[in-house]
Structure 1
Amino acid sequence: MPSQTDRPASNPGPSPSGRDGFERRVFRATVIVLATLAAAYLMWTLVDLLLLLFACALVAMILLTITNWLRIRTRLPFAVSLGLTVLLLLALIGGAFAFFGTTMQTEFTELATRLPAAWANVQARLAESRIGAAILERAQGLAPSGQTIVNAVTTALATVGGALSGLVLVLIGGLYLAAQPTLYAGGVMRMIPTAARERTAETLDAISVSLKNWLKGQALGMLFVGVGTGLGLWLVGVPAAWAIGLVAGLAEFVPYLGVLLAGIPAVILGFGQGTDTGLWTIGVLIAVQQLQGNLVMPLLQNKMVDLPPAVTIFGIIAAGILFGVPGVLLATPLTIVVLVLIRRLYLHEDKHEMLASAETAAPPPTIVDPDRAAS
């Protein structure tokens, strides 16, 4: 007969301390999940403000880059260099308007005057053929009503007004950020846990240098598209060629948008002058786009972030769907930020590996740990 000591011991079940630990872990995980969802909802609610801050940061980066260039060559104090930078930019913009203002006004007036007549001429040419008449009939069936056009124009004017006010806020905010970069960078770093500050500072430096290099390359690309489009259209005899070139250059801040926006009025005006001029106009636009994509931008790749065309296009589409027009305007720099974060935080690439082809001089002051700087 088995003794009492040979009987298997019954399972005593989890101890009270074990249950308490499990409940604490569940409670902590629940709080973290809820806090994450609340933070994501808050960021989505404030997305317009965050985009505005990002645009201000881009303006500040431009000002700091020029200011740093002046400081290196003139040995002037930071405040004086920043003031000279602002004055030089204002003088450049004012001088450009004073020098080209009358010409551009004449060009845009001519564009507004000639465009309806050129469109009527194109319609008449299309109506002469059976295929062209069918295209016109289909286009007229798809044409919006008068009220729809009025509503669209009203919305466009309201959008332009909002964009101008937003531009003023961005310029002022960018100037304030550029005036005291250490103050704002240090404030951001103080919100980061001490153990993660060094890695965060390196990531922010990588983002800063990548955006700075992209801005340099993009500025040269915009200049090429504007001058190339204006000069090419002027050579083939398209009216208001330089006005179209100006629109193409400015719109090229969003990749591939400049030639598309300039192409519609340019082709209409070109075919309004004649079939040969219209075909030459299409040839000029294609040539500028091909040179931009296959020659100019590859030569500038060592001065900017290497973004594959597919990534750029899908980034613009995604930003437009999520954030609207502001998202489209800021799509490329936002894509750069996302790629840098992926390479740093997910692929764990070293900062020096990412910026191997970048310039070694970064815009001062460098983002540092505020506690370490205080010590």
Structure 2
Amino acid sequence: MSEIPTESRYAALSKAVLLAAGLVVLLWLCYQVSGVLLLFLFTIIFALILNAPTTWLADRKVPRPLAALLVFGAVLGLLGLLGWLAVPRITEQLSELASNLPTYAQNLSKQLSALFENYPQLQKHLRFDEESLTKELPSLPVLLQRVGQYSLSALGLVFLLIVLLSTVLYMVIEPRPLLKLYLSLFPASRREPAARALGKASKMVIGWMWSNVVVGSLEAALTAIFLNIMDIPGVWVWAALAFFSELVPKIGPYLMAAPPVLVALAIDPTTALWVALFYLVMNELMGDLVMPRVRSSTMNLHPVSSLFLMLIMGSAFGLPGALIATPLTAFIKAFYEEFYLARHPFDEQLDKQVELIMYRRVDTKNSTLEQ
């Protein structure tokens, strides 16, 4: 074999080093602007959701800019109406819960101490009195400082919200340049599957949104009715938490159930038991029966894949990453099907092989499956 010239080896090595350095710089840059990338993902998701009704109006001879403005205005109007109806009551009940927090904490301490009366060492850590609670609560200067910090954070949030809404509106009014840019990233032979993948992802994202609205509204209504019957303080607050709980699949409903159960426990252990049982039954029925049926026609995502990506995104980006995990799973699934599975012939024995593996009928000695 002829030896590779020194110049060629040097050129190949230099190219590899430059490629590695460029990759490191790209990853560093992505890490530095991760918040912007996350915001861009949110805008894409919202634009895909609003594009469906906008396209429906455009197909009926409504000019697309006017259709986008109508849809955008309808969404903002609906959100404003819901805020006008619910926010005052939620704010009032939040203030009431905050003012009664020391009382709830003392009652909860008494209830827990009674439950663990045979463990005196543990009881010491479960007792709260008014003096200790006063020490734990922030002083007025500290509270005002925190309010100032939250106000600055709120101003930043408002600014980001304006940028987000403006970007979404521009995307929905004229998406053609962005779609051309998206397709130009692929060679001509792969643009058709790229278009199909984006179409599938769009359908799944819309299904995700509608399933959250439908199931979240049902959970909020059931929560409000049951907790009102049980006379639990802060019904509107807990109903609002139940509405948004499905944004974090499987785990979210149980996290949202913890505060009302603790408030109920501060009132009466039997009441807390009924409230915990209600949340357990509701979450299982909604998560295992209702939600899969609502999403079956659009998403068809296994919970494990969503949970796994949610843990990754949550660890990397916190709560915003966890919220975007399910739509991101939809994108990954759509592109995986179009760019990997579609390149392989359909295996008629696949389902049969899965069943054999499940029931441990695999012949590991002969590397074959039992018939």
Q: TM-score range by the shorter chain?
A: 0.7 to 0.9
Q: 1:57 aligns with which of 44, 47, 53?
A: 44
- What is the aligned partner in structure 2 of residue 120 from structure 1? 106
Q: Is 1:248–1:262's contact at 8 Å kept on the other side of the alignment? A: yes
- What is the aligned partner in structure 1 of residue 280 from structure 2? 286
Matched residues in 1 for 2:78 and 2:222: separation? 21
* Structure 2 counterpart of 1:137, one-letter code: K
CA positional deviation for 1:51: 0.9
Aligned positions, number:
337
Unaligned runs of 5+ in 2: 345-371
* Structure 2 counterpart of 1:44, one-letter code: Y
Q: Is 1:55–1:330's contact at 8 Å kept on the other side of the alignment? A: yes
- What is the aligned partner in structure 2 of residue 364 from structure 1? none
Matched residues in 1 for 2:310 and 2:299: separation? 16
Matched residues in 1 for 2:13 and 2:33: separation? 30
* Residue deviations 1:62-118 (CA, integer Å, cap 9, x gap): 22122234445x542222221111221222122223333443333333333334322
Q: Is 1:230–1:243's contact at 8 Å kept on the other side of the alignment? A: no
272 and 22 in structure 1: CA distance in 2 versus 1, 3 angstrom threshold: closer
* Structure 2 counterpart of 1:78, one-letter code: R
- What is the aligned partner in structure 2 of residue 188 from structure 1? 182
- What is the aligned partner in structure 2 of residue 173 from structure 1? 167
156 and 246 in structure 1: CA distance in 2 versus 1, 3 angstrom threshold: farther
Note the 1:26-105 alignment, pairs <5 A.
Answer: 27-72=14-59, 75-105=61-91
* Structure 2 counterpart of 1:232, one-letter code: F
- What is the aligned partner in structure 2 of residue 259 from structure 1? 253
CA positional deviation for 1:273: 2.8
Matched residues in 2 for 1:195 and 1:93: separation? 43
- What is the aligned partner in structure 1 of residue 193 from structure 2? 199
Note the 1:152-163 alignment, pairs <5 A.
Answer: 157=150, 162-163=156-157
Q: Is 2:194–2:338's contact at 8 Å kept on the other side of the alignment? A: no
Q: Is 2:111–2:269's contact at 8 Å kept on the other side of the alignment? A: no
Q: Does 1:317 find its partner at 2:311?
A: yes
Q: Does 1:224 find its partner at 2:224?
A: no
Normalised by the size of structure 1, how large is the TM-score?
0.76
CA positional deviation for 1:39: 3.1
Q: Secondary structure at 1:305's aligned position in 2?
A: coil
* Residue deviations 1:176-201 (CA, integer Å, cap 9, x gap): 21121112222233344444433333
Q: Is 1:217–1:301's contact at 8 Å kept on the other side of the alignment? A: yes
173 and 135 in structure 1: CA distance in 2 versus 1, 3 angstrom threshold: farther
The structure whose RCO (Cα within 8 Å, separation 6+) is larger is: 1
Matched residues in 2 for 1:156 and 1:308: separation? 40
Matched residues in 2 for 1:293 and 1:91: separation? 30
Q: Is 1:320–1:327's contact at 8 Å kept on the other side of the alignment? A: yes
* Residue deviations 1:124-179 (CA, integer Å, cap 9, x gap): 222335157544434579x9x85999699689837666545433332222122112
156 and 296 in structure 1: CA distance in 2 versus 1, 3 angstrom threshold: farther
Q: Larger deviation: 25-34 or 79-88?
A: 25-34
Q: Larger deviation: 146-155 or 208-217?
A: 146-155
* Residue deviations 1:27-52 (CA, integer Å, cap 9, x gap): 55554444444433333332221111
Q: Greater CA radius of gyration, 1 or 2?
A: 1
240 and 225 in structure 1: CA distance in 2 versus 1, 3 angstrom threshold: same
Normalised by the size of structure 2, how large is the TM-score?
0.77
124 and 155 in structure 1: CA distance in 2 versus 1, 3 angstrom threshold: farther
Q: 2:266 aligns with which of 272, 278, 286?
A: 272
Matched residues in 1 for 2:232 and 2:315: separation? 35
Percent of paired sites with the same residue = 22
* Structure 1 counterpart of 2:205, one-letter code: L
Q: Is 1:312–1:335's contact at 8 Å kept on the other side of the alignment? A: yes
* Residue deviations 1:295-323 (CA, integer Å, cap 9, x gap): 11121132332232222222221112222
Matched residues in 1 for 2:204 and 2:170: separation? 22
Q: Is 2:94–2:234's contact at 8 Å kept on the other side of the alignment? A: yes
326 and 155 in structure 1: CA distance in 2 versus 1, 3 angstrom threshold: farther
97 and 325 in structure 1: CA distance in 2 versus 1, 3 angstrom threshold: closer
Q: Secondary structure at 2:240's aligned position in 1?
A: helix
Q: Is 2:248–2:323's contact at 8 Å kept on the other side of the alignment? A: yes
* Structure 2 counterpart of 1:83, one-letter code: L
Q: Secondary structure at 2:247's aligned position in 1?
A: coil
Q: Is 2:110–2:127's contact at 8 Å kept on the other side of the alignment? A: no
Q: Is 1:254–1:329's contact at 8 Å kept on the other side of the alignment? A: yes
Matched residues in 2 for 1:225 and 1:160: separation? 28
Q: Does 1:240 find its partner at 2:234?
A: yes
39 and 134 in structure 1: CA distance in 2 versus 1, 3 angstrom threshold: same
Q: Is 1:234–1:242's contact at 8 Å kept on the other side of the alignment? A: no
* Residue deviations 1:172-231 (CA, integer Å, cap 9, x gap): 221221121112222233344444433333332232222222222222222222222222
- What is the aligned partner in structure 2 of residue 209 from structure 1? 203
